[in-house]
Structure 1
């Protein structure tokens, strides 16, 4: 089940968030981030945040927000995290598909991922299967914990109709 995330959900999600960020393999968030800072970043700054729950266990989450202001506010940005034990079970796909539906309902015409770590091959392949294109490469933009400096991709998908 995917639904809007609340503070209690985030507390249950915190171990997932903390592990993902401290691994320094996919997110450019401060590894020493506190629970309160993380809640603010993931749940208060975005337009909405959602949680994926199965049998009472929080297995993943995403946020959605405008990627830019003013004339660029028709493009949204999302971030996704899935618990390690739940990876490979279609949860990231479900979250991404849900986020695209929500984006359309919120009136967004496109979705852009600003910094997909190039060596995160599972995510890159999934986003491509779901219609996202790599529209840019930023050389050595991410300091990976194991691999050192690696590239990031800008990925994009138009959500509007051909008439837009």
Structure 2
């Protein structure tokens, strides 16, 4: 597996699983019927952002991550990121590898910390991964996410300083 900066032609490999993940409505606050154009702009076009892909030996996209400032101006030293792994590639360490890569790139780009504003509390795999990489849950906003299968559940705000090993 290779992790690299995404190119425009990678979108055709990202869109099928991004569409599937968003349509499921369990982990992202996006409308389940998000159009391809809206998704492309949201994922690939954030101001000050970067997009990465994990690809196999044949060049097929297995996962993607996007990195951007959490807030503009005075809050731009804190990073935010999103991650999506193709369901067909789940359980192969791709999420962990992408996370490590993005954390390194964020530190290299000068970000001081990373904050996730909306980690769905029922997304146990993601929470376990982030905690294993040194993220802490700062707060949970009760009933902030309307899961199609579990109803109203909380959203965690998670945070980790960069430039030092997880504690």
TM band (smaller chain):
over 0.9
Q: Describe the SS at the equivalent of 1:42.
A: helix
Give the match for residue 22 of structure 1.
Answer: 23
- Looking at structure 2, the residues matched to 7 and 140 of structure 1 have their Cα atoms a distance apart, in angstroms, of 37
Unaligned regions of 5+ residues in structure 2, if any? Answer: none
Q: Offset at 1:10? A: 1.1
Specify which of 117, 120, 125 is matched with residue 117 of structure 1: 120
Q: Offset at 1:138? A: 0.4
Give the match for residue 55 of structure 2.
Answer: 53
The 5 Å alignment of 1:67-106 reads 67-106=70-109
Q: Deviations over 1:72-120 (max 9, x none)?
A: 1110000000011111111000011000111011100000000000000
Give the match for residue 62 of structure 1.
Answer: 65
Give the match for residue 41 of structure 2.
Answer: 40
Pick which of 105-114 and 30-39 moved more.
30-39
Q: Offset at 1:160? A: 3.8
Q: Report the aligned-residue RMSD.
A: 1.3
Unaligned regions of 5+ residues in structure 1, if any? Answer: none
- Looking at structure 1, the residues matched to 79 and 114 of structure 2 have their Cα atoms a distance apart, in angstroms, of 5
TM-score using structure 1 length = 0.95
Structure 1 runs of 4+ aligned residues shifted over 6 Å read none
- Looking at structure 1, the residues matched to 36 and 4 of structure 2 have their Cα atoms a distance apart, in angstroms, of 21
